[in-house]
Structure formats: structure tokens, C-alpha cells
Amino acid sequence: MNRKPVHVAMFSGGAASAYVTYQMVQTHGKENSILFFTNTLWEDDDNYRFMYEVADYIGIEITERVDGRTPEEVFEDTRFLGNSRLAKCSSELKVRQTVIFIEDLRDQGLEPILYFGIGAHEKQRAENLKDFYGHQSLESVETRFPMFEGNIKDVDAKRVIIEEWGIKLPRMYDLGFSHANCGGRCVRGGFKHYADLYRIWPHKFQEQEEMEERMRETLGDVSILKSKDTGKAYTLREYRMYLEIINKGIDEVASASLIPEEDDMVPCVCVYS
């Protein structure tokens, strides 16, 4: 069956996917474009502000799909605490909603082409996403990466958004987070990310620590962070205590031995900006 192409920007609420959306709409027109967002209900409020300002500027509505559960509720339902190696919140709240949306479009006689805000230096992530979405739905889905293919850097996209569009970037960039997914609470963030979270938003670190404690009461020795060497649980409580030692300036060399080797996994398909 010949379906009509429809261009779908996978909007994460970050700068790169905003820039890609603009380019996509300029090239293919609003009538052939969709600004698609899967809401995990954990996003930072300022990400929503940014998203709506971008949508207004481009002149296209946001098409939102929401499962209705938070990542924590997915962990409870699946009896599996998402961690730096595997996160069912991503597959349930984002990928599943995207695949349902793809099939809905096909039922309407449309063939989606997915656009991602993958930067000029992220060849491996582009290949992973291409492969991933090639196998998720009933038929393979075409994926495009305009920034990677056009060698456009993140910093250039951000400059255009700030200076030419007059839109302030999500506050999480300025605060020093390396990515802005799930309001800093991403369970795939790894040690560096959680050190940033503790430093910038200790109350959110505490929320994650409390969630982990609740999950440990029912599931046993589970944790969000994992030792790279042993794969064993390394709790946020342990990590907070380690960070408190560092912050007090107590013998940093000795305290370094308390922490397992960095497990520096980058977040999965949730991060495309």
C-alpha cells in the first residue's frame, strides 16, 4: 500500500530536537509535519515552558502521547527498578507510545518518517536509533538525523534558538545538567549525573533515594546505580554519604576508594536532544 509520507519530529524538549523541528517544517511544510512528544510526567516544568514557546514560534501544535504512569509507577507494575543498565520506563512510556502512534498513522494511510536531534558528533547514537526503530514496529520506519547529516553542532542550534528565535533554553542546561530528561531524575544517568543532581537539586536526589528505598523494601537488593566492575547494587543512600564526605573536604584520596568505578552509561532512546 502506498502511504503518504508524514514528517514526525521526535521532540524531547531539548534544543537539538527543537532546531530539527524548525528545519523539518521549513522543508516539508506544517501540513506535512508533526511535533511529537511522549510525556513521562517527570519532566521539569521549564522544559514544558520551552516546548510550548518553540511550538508557538514554529507555528505547529504539539502532538502529545502519555501513558499516564510515571517511571516509578512503571517500576512498581513491572516489579523492576530501572537502573543505569536497563530502564523499562523508557520502553513503556516512550517507545511503546511511539510505536502505537506510528501504527495509528499507518492506519490513516500515512507513512511516518522520524526526525531526531542527534548532534554532529553522535554517529553511534544515530546508528543505534536507526537500527532500533527499524525493528520496533510491524514494518521498518525511516529515521533521519538532520544535524548529524548536516554537521550542525549543538552549540550552533542553541545559539540560533537564543539569538534568532529569542527563546530561553530550558533552565536545566544553565544549571549544569548534561541532559534534561525526566527533570534530572533519569535512572539511566549514572554516577556523574547523580553527583550533579545532588549538587544542583538535592531535594530531587532525595526523592530518588526515597523511591529506591521503597523499591528495596519490596524487591530486595536493587539499586539505580550499579558498580561497573561487579554489576552489584550501589544505593543512592551510599552514594549520598560518599558525596557528603567529599563535600566536607575529608580526605578525598581515602574517600575515593569508597566509590565503585564510574558506570558512565548515557541515557537510552529517551535522549535525542
Residues near ligand SF4 (CB under 6 A) are 40, 42, 71, 82, 87, 89-90, 93-94, 181-182, 186-188, 267-268, 270
CB 117 within 8 A of CB 19: yes
Q: CB of residue 89 vs ligand SF4: minimum separation in angstroms? A: 3
Grid cell locating 61:
501544535
Give buried/exposed letters for 144-176 (b at 16+ CB in 10 A, else e): bbbbbeeebebeebbebbeeeeebebbebbeee
Q: CB of residue 245 vs ligand SF4: minimum separation in angstroms? A: 27
Indicate the residue among 143 and 273 with the shorter CB distance to ligand SF4. Answer: 273
Closest residue to ligand SF4, based on beta-carbon distance: 270
Q: CB of residue 204 vs ligand SF4: minimum separation in angstroms? A: 12
Indicate the residue among 28 and 96 with the shorter CB distance to ligand SF4. Answer: 96
Indicate the residue among 94 and 144 with the shorter CB distance to ligand SF4. Answer: 94
Indicate the residue among 22 and 191 with the shorter CB distance to ligand SF4. Answer: 191
Q: Angle at CA 48, nearest 5°, toward 127 and 240?
A: 75
Grid cell 499516564 in the structure block, residue: 68
CB 63 within 8 A of CB 36: yes
Give the three-state DSSP class for 12: coil
Question: How many helices and strands in the chain, by DSSP H and E?
Answer: 13, 7
Q: CB of residue 125 vs ligand SF4: minimum separation in angstroms? A: 14
How far apart, in whole angstroms, are the C-alpha atoms of residue 120 and residue 130? 15
Q: CB of residue 173 vs ligand SF4: minimum separation in angstroms? A: 16
Indicate the residue among 153 and 192 with the shorter CB distance to ligand SF4. Answer: 192
